[in-house]
Chains A and B, each alone.
Chain A
Amino acid sequence: MYSIPHFIIPDLILLVFPFIVIGSRLFCDYKSKIPWRIANIGLMLIFVLLNLIPLASGEGQFFISNWRVDDFGVLMREVLILSALLGVWLSKDYFEHGADGKPQMHQIAEFIGAIAFATFGGITVVSACDTLTFFLGLEIATIPMYALTAWNKKDQMGTEAATKYILMGSVATAFELFGFSYLFGFAGGLHFSEIHAAVAAGTSPLLWVAVLFLFCGIGFKLTLFPFYTWAPDVYEGAPTPVTAVLSVTSKATAIAFLAVLVYGPLAPIQEQIAPLIALLAGVTLFVGNLGALKQSRLRRFMAYSSIAQAGYIMVALLGPAEIGKTAIVYYLFVYAISNYLAFFVFGIIGHHREETFASLRGLSKQNPSLAIALAISMFSLAGIPPLAGFFGKFHLFFSGATTGHYMLVTFAVLNNVLALFYYIQLIKSAWVDEPDGHLTPLRLTKRQRAVVIFLSIGVVAIGFLPFLSNNIFAGFNY
Chain B
Amino acid sequence: MNLLNCLILAFLLFGIGVWGLMRRRHLIGMLISIELMLNAANINFISFAYFTAHDATAGALFSIFVIAVTACEMAIALAIIVSMYRRHKSLDADQLRDLHD
Contact = CB atoms under 8 A, between A and B. Distances in A.
Given A157-B99, A163-B80, A237-B99, A185 B44 contact: yes
Given A167-B34, A170-B34, A170-B73, A177 B66 contact: yes
Contacts of A232: 99, 101
Contact of B65 (A136, A156, A162): A136
Contacts of A162: 80
Contacts of B41: 174, 177-178, 180-181
B66 to A, nearest CB: 6
A101 B23 CA distance: 35
Interface in B42-84: 42, 44-45, 48-49, 52-55, 58-59, 61-62, 65-66, 69, 72-73, 76-77, 79-81, 83-84
A424 interface: no
A159 B87 contact: yes
Q: Which of B49, B59, B80, B81 has the most CB of A within 10 A?
A: B80
B40 A178 contact: yes
B84 A160 contact: yes
Interface stretch (A145-153, A324-332, A433-441): A145-153
A182 B44 contact: yes
A78 interface: no
Nearest to A166: B77
A86 interface: no
A147 B83 contact: no
Contact of A136 (B69, B84, B98): B69
11 contacts: A132-B58, A160-B99, A163-B27, A163-B84, A164-B99, A166-B73, A173-B73, A181-B42, A181-B45, A188-B55, A300-B101
Interface range on chain B (Cβ under 8 Å from partner): 35 or more
Contact of B54 (A164, A188, A237): A188
Contacts of A147: 76, 79
Contact of B100 (A131, A132, A233, A294): A233
A200 interface: no
Contact of B44 (A136, A178, A294): A178
Interface of B: 10, 14, 17, 21, 27, 30-31, 34, 37-38, 40-42, 44-45, 48-49, 52-55, 58-59, 61-62, 65-66, 69, 72-73, 76-77, 79-81, 83-84, 87, 96, 98-101
Say which size band chain A's interface belongs to. Answer: 35 or more
A132 B64 CA distance: 11
Given A159-B84, A178-B41, A233-B100, A132 B62 contact: yes
Contacts of A156: 87, 98
Nearest to A295: B101
Contacts of A139: 69, 72-73
Given A139-B69, A157-B98, 5 more contacts: A174-B40, A184-B59, A188-B53, A233-B99, A237-B99
Nearest to B100: A233
A32 to B, nearest CB: 26
A102 to B, nearest CB: 13
Given A173-B38, A181-B41, A185-B48, A132 B61 contact: yes
B76 A171 contact: no
A-B pairs, 8 with minimum CB distance? A181-B44, A174-B37, A185-B48, A177-B41, A233-B99, A188-B53, A170-B34, A190-B58
Nearest to B54: A188
A355 interface: no
A153 B79 CA distance: 11
B15 to A, nearest CB: 11
A48 to B, nearest CB: 32
A150 B66 CA distance: 24
A161 interface: yes
B53 A166 contact: no
A189 interface: yes
A184 B45 contact: yes
A174 B87 CA distance: 29
Interface string A115-152: 00000000000000001100110010001001100100
A82 B25 CA distance: 40
A70 interface: no
B53 A163 contact: no
Interface in A11-64: none
A118 to B, nearest CB: 13
Contact of A132 (B14, B30, B40, B65): B65
Which of B69, B79, B98, B99 lies at the interface centre, i.e. has the most chain A CB atoms within 10 A of its CB? Answer: B99
Contacts of B80: 146, 150, 159, 162-163, 166
A301 to B, nearest CB: 12
Nearest to B66: A177
Contacts of A159: 80, 83-84, 87
Nearest to B57: A190
A153 B80 CA distance: 9
Contacts of A180: 41, 62
A237 B30 CA distance: 21
A184 B58 contact: yes
A71 interface: no
A190 B59 CA distance: 8
B76 A181 contact: no
